[in-house]
Amino acid sequence: MSQTPPTPILDRVRLPSDLKALTDRELHRLSDELRAETISAVSVTGGHLGAGLGVIELTVALHAVFDAPRDKIIWDVGHQCYPHKILTGRRDRIRTLRTKDGLSGFTKRSESPYDPFGAGHSSTSISAAVGFAMARELGAETGDAIAVIGDGAMSGGMAFEAMNHAGHLGKRVFVVLNDNEMSIAPPVGALSSYLTRLYSEGPMQDLKSVAKGAVSLLPEPFQEGARRAKEMLKGMAVGGTLFEELGFTYVGPVDGHDLDALLPLLRTLKARATGPVLIHALTKKGKGYAPAESRADRGHATAKFDVITGAQVKAPSNAPSYTKVFAESLVREAESDEKIVAITAAMPDGTGLNLFADRFPRRTFDVGIAEQHAVTFSAGLAAAGMRPFCAIYSTFLQRGYDQIVHDVAIQRLPVRFAIDRAGLVGADGATHAGSYDIGFMANLPGMVVMAAADEAELVHMVATAAAHDEGPIAFRYPRGEGMGVEMPERGQPLEIGKGRIVAEGARVAILSFGTRLAEVLKAREALAARGLAPTVADARFAKPLDTDLILRLVAEHEALICIEEGAVGGFGSHVAQFLSDQGVFDRGYKFRSMVLPDTFIDHASPEDMYASARMNASDIEAKVLELLGVAVAKRA
Ligand X SMILES: CC(=O)[C@@H](O)[C@H](O)COP(=O)(O)O
Do residues 499 and 597 touch, judged by C-beta distance below 8 A?
A: no
Kindly state whether residue 150 participates in binding ligand TPP, applying the rule CB under 6 A: yes
SS3 content of the chain, % helix, strand, coil (to 5): 45, 15, 40
78 is in an annotated binding site: no
Cβ proximity to ligand TPP: between 148 and 579 the closer is 148
Do residues 311 and 305 touch, judged by C-beta distance below 8 A?
A: yes
Q: Which residues would be at the binding site for ligand X (CB under 6 A)?
A: 48, 77, 79, 184, 301, 350, 421, 425, 428, 479
301 binds, among ligand TPP, ligand X, Mg ion, none (CB under 5 to 8 A by kind): ligand X
- Report how many residues bind ligand TPP under the rule CB under 6 A: 25
Q: How far apart are CA 97 and CA 105, in angstroms?
A: 6
Do residues 452 and 494 touch, judged by C-beta distance below 8 A?
A: no
Those residues whose C-beta lies under 8 Å from the C-beta of residue 616, and which sit 6 or more positions away, are 519, 607, 610
286 is in an annotated binding site: no
Active-site residue, 85 included: no
Paired residues of 280 in beta bridges:
177
One-character DSSP codes across 358-403: HH-GGGEEE--S-HHHHHHHHHHHHHTT-EEEEE--HHHHGGGHHH
153 binds, among ligand X, ligand TPP, Mg ion, none (CB under 5 to 8 A by kind): ligand TPP
37, 333, 371, 621: the catalytic one is: 371
Active-site residue, 399 included: yes
Cβ proximity to ligand X: between 374 and 425 the closer is 425
206 is in an annotated binding site: no
Helices marked H in 273-321 = 290-293
Q: Which of 229, 369, 379, 527 binds ligand TPP (CB under 6 A)?
A: 369
Kindly state whether residue 104 participates in binding ligand TPP, applying the rule CB under 6 A: no
Kindly state whether residue 82 participates in binding ligand TPP, applying the rule CB under 6 A: no
79 is in an annotated binding site: yes
Kindly state whether residue 79 participates in binding ligand TPP, applying the rule CB under 6 A: yes
Q: Which of 43, 45, 59, 80 binds ligand TPP (CB under 6 A)?
A: 80
What 3-state DSSP class applies to 409?
Answer: helix
Kindly state whether residue 51 participates in binding ligand TPP, applying the rule CB under 6 A: yes
Paired residues of 567 in beta bridges:
596
CB of 593 to ligand TPP, least distance (A): 30
80 binds, among Mg ion, ligand X, ligand TPP, none (CB under 5 to 8 A by kind): ligand TPP
CB of 284 to ligand TPP, least distance (A): 10
Q: Which residues between 317 and 346 bind ligand TPP (CB under 6 A)?
A: 345-346
Cβ proximity to ligand X: between 243 and 436 the closer is 436
Q: Which helix (H) or strand (E) holds 145?
A: strand 145-150
90, 399, 524, 540: the catalytic one is: 399
285, 295, 332, 516: the catalytic one is: 285
Handedness of CA 385, 391, 395, 396 (dihedral sign): negative
Paired residues of 364 in beta bridges:
342
Those residues whose C-beta lies under 8 Å from the C-beta of residue 276, and which sit 6 or more positions away, are 163, 166, 167, 169, 170, 171, 172, 173, 174, 175, 247, 248, 249
Those residues whose C-beta lies under 8 Å from the C-beta of residue 344, and which sit 6 or more positions away, are 351, 353, 364, 365, 366, 367, 374, 391, 392
Q: Which of 38, 45, 88, 122 binds ligand TPP (CB under 6 A)?
A: 122
CB of 122 to ligand X, least distance (A): 7
175 binds, among ligand TPP, Mg ion, ligand X, none (CB under 5 to 8 A by kind): none
Q: Helix (H) and strand (E) counts for the chain?
A: 25, 17
Do residues 501 and 519 touch, judged by C-beta distance below 8 A?
A: no
CB of 194 to ligand X, least distance (A): 24
Among candidate residues 455, 489, 518, 492, the one with its CA nearest the CA of residue 321: 455
Kindly state whether residue 422 participates in binding ligand TPP, applying the rule CB under 6 A: no
Active-site residue, 285 included: yes
Binding residues for thiamine diphosphate: 79, 120-122, 152-153, 180, 289, 371
Q: Which residues are catalytic?
A: 285, 371, 399
Which residues of this protein are in contact with ligand TPP, per CB under 6 A?
Answer: 51, 54, 77, 79-80, 121-122, 150-153, 178, 180, 182-184, 285, 300, 345-347, 369, 371, 396, 399
Q: Which residues are annotated as a binding site for Mg(2+)?
A: 151, 180
